[in-house]
Amino acid sequence: MTTIPVALGSRSYDVVIEAGVLARAADWLKPLSRGRRMAIVTDENVLPHLATLQASLTAAGVESDAIVLPPGEGTKSWAMLEQLTDRLLELGIERGDHVVALGGGVIGDLVGFACSIVKRGCGFVQIPTTLLAQVDSSVGGKTAINSRAGKNLVGAFHQPALVLIDPDVLDTLPLRHVRAGYAEVVKYGLIDDPAFFEWCEANAPALVAGDPAARAYAIAHSVAAKARIVAEDERETTGKRALLNLGHTFGHALEAEAGFSDRLLHGEGVAAGMALAFGYSAARGLAPAADADRVAAHLRAIGLPDGVAAAGIEADGETLVAHMLHDKKMDAGKLPFLLARGIGGTFLDISVNLADVRAFLDA
């Protein structure tokens, strides 16, 4: 078992990583139940894991109620937020209770946001069941839903009380979703850890194929990296946490053009966005062209998109930049971009000319 602390003072919590931990989840959840029924929120794709979790709770004498939502990005909506909060209130959720989010990033984001507003804030626990959620979205307390204007534009910072990660649940994850999650793994190497990027180049095929050792190392390394950054800059005020958005400005624009649908999974959008960020950095003379080519080649080798066309998007630069103008990171009319001076050299640039971005995307 690996336990990684997220050090945030009174809001600190542990991320527990262990194969098979889902079947023993009650060891951690029973103390949080306070002798009351626990609410579990999940989606229709996760029902086998729900059965495992509820069996663990039942064996420990903890009763539970399951709220099963539709899968997919469309669930991160006002309508589903209303439905979920109403159901939690019907179940009598109190401020001292903890709701369990069992699922991928969509469930984690929605449940976390709901828990930030129900009774002006109740507790929640993340049990992520996708690679992307395990290495990224379950840690750090960013919660949100999508709106017509864009992705994750309505939300709150609300830290979980605990994160339980069971790498074994990835055995049931479709290959496409494993690849999409891998984009958030390799991101940590591209941000500030070139040695980890080299590890990814050597071990990504084994990781994607389900090798337990590669999978466990990638998850633990990624979580530790994110925990460190979040502890330094919980609410993205110093710019350090902003580095975790590498690829997201371009990627969210691609996702918006795809209608936030399964046409383009979030991790696929991030992969294409990272390749574009490195490509744009090289075009501006900030990063070596060889590094941009190396990043794109690695993503292609894993089966991830490395640009607009590869992501299945047919849109010009003007259209994509228009999507970017709804980015939640807009500040005083300027859009910060995560660019790179090379692999492991990501930095925040607030002086990007959007006309140059349009021209780059058109090219």
Catalytic, 241? Answer: yes
- What phi and psi values does residue 147 have, to the nearest 5 degrees? -135, 175
Task: Tell me the three state secondary structure of residue 2.
Answer: strand
Could you say which of 146, 152, 184, 358 is catalytic? 184
> Which of 73, 234, 236, 268 is labelled catalytic?
236
Give the Cα separation of 343 and 53 in Å (integer): 40
* Given the residues 187, 226, 323, 329, the one annotated as active site: 226
Q: Does residue 183 contact residue 105 with C-beta atoms inside 8 Å?
A: no
Residues 6+ apart with CB under 8 A from 133: 103, 104, 105, 108, 126, 181
Say which of 151, 221, 266, 323 is annotated catalytic.
Answer: 266
Contact 262, 276 (CB under 8 A): no
**120, 148, 314, 353: which one is catalytic?**
120
Instruction: Assess whether 245 carries a catalytic annotation.
Output: yes
- Which of 49, 179, 187, 252 is labelled catalytic? 252
Neighbours of 58 (CB within 10 A): 12
The SS3 assignment for 4 reads strand
Q: In angstroms, what CA-CA distances link 359 with 151, 191, 251, 348?
A: 24, 25, 17, 20
Q: Which of 49, 76, 142, 177 is catalytic?
A: 142
Give me 69's structure tokens.
């939502």
Q: Catalytic residue at 248?
A: yes
Instruction: Give the separation between CA 87 and CA 81, rounded to whole angstroms.
Output: 10
252 belongs to the catalytic site: yes
Q: CB of 89 within 8 A of CB of 65?
A: no
Task: Pull the structure tokens for residue 180.
Answer: 């999409």
Q: Is 228 known to be catalytic? A: no
DSSP 307: S
- Catalytic: 236? yes
Residue 340, strand partner residues: 346
Q: Which of 177, 179, 221, 241 is catalytic?
A: 241
Spot the catalytic one: 245, 255, 257, 268.
245
Q: Identify whether 184 is a catalytic site residue.
A: yes
Query: Catalytic pick from 49, 187, 215, 248?
Result: 248
Instruction: Give catalytic residues, as residue numbers.
Output: 120, 142, 184, 226, 236, 241, 245, 248, 252, 266
